[in-house]
């Protein structure tokens, strides 16, 4: 059969891409961190995280989940964060520890949150303290046994972190009262993880990377299993399609969602 669709590809877009170049998102991430260590990886609210810093912090967080919390390959970790620097650190840390990421909308109601935590079987959750009161309502009815809380400014320089966190909590009153006994602060988790060694976890294309839940518009949200192979292929396809207009290592992309 003639591939007629190729006639509509922009100039420079290849007919095929190598989706087997990386076995996992972990491998892809670690190569990028090694190649672009001094380059910016993420910028949020005027604060930039380099690839080198992302490498170090995600390794620390992965070591915390693996060596301190005791999570093992395939365990689920829920991430209930808006667009903050803590999100890529938690995300890549979990993937490097061989865990399955469950993204959760931080604006979920208690009912929606309970369903997703219970359905996914998440053993741990990372939550912005602004939404910790919602987690408090349902955590006892789920399999979650470990909670990491974070504040908006946790990865900012000290003075800015203090001002931002003070403003949100005491001026804007954006943090409702909450109580989650045993919860660990994000920066404490990073410090504890920095004292441990992250054990390498072999991952294949068939291993699940995400349980990504649907919007639930026709019923309850359902978890779609996305493998490392699925997402590596997606990244390679996207790179091939837009690679001709971007210069490697100097790309700047706006991400309205985590």
pLDDT number for residue 169: 96
pLDDT at residue 64 in the model: 99
pLDDT the model gives residue 242? 84
Residues 85, 161: Cα–Cα separation, whole Å: 12
CA distance 141 to 124: 13
| Spacing of C-alpha 195 from chain mean position | 22
Q: What pLDDT score does 220 carry?
A: 86
The pLDDT value given to residue 65: 99
Q: Are 158 and 27 in contact (CB under 8 A)?
A: no
Q: Closest Cα partner for 205 from 47, 8, 25, 18? A: 25
Give first-to-last CA distance, the chain, whole Å: 40
Q: What whole-number distance in Å separates Cα of residue 9 and Cα of residue 21?
A: 23
Q: Look at residue 217 in the predicted model and tell me its pLDDT.
A: 78
Question: What integer pLDDT is reported at residue 256 of this predicted model?
Answer: 80
The predicted structure's pLDDT at residue 142: 98
pLDDT value of residue 10: 86
Place of tokens 């005027």: 46
pLDDT at position 258: 76
What are all long-range contacts of 160-166, with beta carbons under 8 Å and residues at least 24 apart? Answer: 160/47, 164/45
User: What is the predicted pLDDT for the residue at 243?
Assistant: 76
Question: How many alpha carbons lie under 13 Å from residue 133 in its C-beta half-sphere?
Answer: 7
165/171 Cα distance (integer angstroms):
10
- Predicted confidence at residue 184, as pLDDT, reads 99
Question: Which residues are CB-contacts of 176 (< 8 A; sequence separation ≥ 6)?
Answer: 130, 133
Token pair in block for residue 190: 């990073």
Angle (CA) 213-252-241 rounded to 5° is 70
Ramachandran angles phi, psi of 48, nearest 5°? -115, 140
In the chain the domains, ranked by start, together with CATH numbers, are 23-245 (3.40.50.980)
What is the spatial distance between Cα 81 and Cα 62, in angstroms, rounded to a whole number?
A: 17
pLDDT tens for the chain, 258 residues long, are 688 999 889 888 899 999 999 999 999 999 999 999 999 999 999 999 999 999 999 999 999 999 999 999 999 999 999 999 999 999 999 999 999 999 999 999 999 999 999 999 999 999 999 999 999 999 999 999 999 999 999 999 999 999 999 999 999 999 999 999 999 999 999 999 999 999 999 999 999 999 999 987 788 899 999 999 999 999 999 999 887 777 888 888 888 877
Structure tokens at 73: 């390959």
């Amino acid at each position: 059969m003639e591939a007629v669709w190729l006639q509509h590809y922009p100039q420079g877009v290849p007919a095929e891409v190598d989706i087997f170049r990386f076995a996992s998102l972990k491998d892809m991430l670690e190569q990028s961190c090694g190649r672009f260590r001094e380059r910016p990886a993420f910028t949020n609210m005027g604060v930039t995280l380099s690839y080198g810093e992302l490498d170090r912090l995600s390794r620390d967080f992965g070591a915390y989940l693996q060596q301190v919390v005791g999570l093992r390959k395939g365990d689920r970790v829920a991430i209930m964060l808006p667009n903050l620097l803590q999100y890529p650190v938690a995300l890549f840390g979990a993937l490097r520890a061989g865990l399955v990421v469950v993204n959760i909308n931080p604006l979920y109601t208690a009912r929606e949150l309970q369903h997703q935590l219970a359905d996914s079987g998440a053993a741990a959750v990372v939550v912005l303290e602004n939404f910790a009161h919602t987690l408090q309502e349902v955590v006892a009815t789920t399999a979650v046994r470990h909670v990491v809380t974070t504040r908006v400014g946790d990865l900012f320089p000290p003075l800015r972190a203090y001002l931002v966190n003070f403003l949100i909590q005491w001026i804007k009153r954006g943090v409702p009262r909450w109580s989650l006994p045993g919860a660990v602060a994000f920066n404490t988790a990073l410090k504890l993880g920095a004292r441990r060694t992250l054990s390498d976890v072999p991952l294949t294309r068939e291993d699940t990377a995400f349980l990504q839940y649907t919007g639930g518009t026709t019923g309850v949200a359902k978890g779609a299993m996305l493998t490392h192979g699925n997402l590596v292929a997606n990244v390679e396809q996207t790179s091939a399609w837009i690679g001709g207009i971007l210069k490697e290592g100097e790309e700047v992309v706006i991400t309205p969602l985590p």
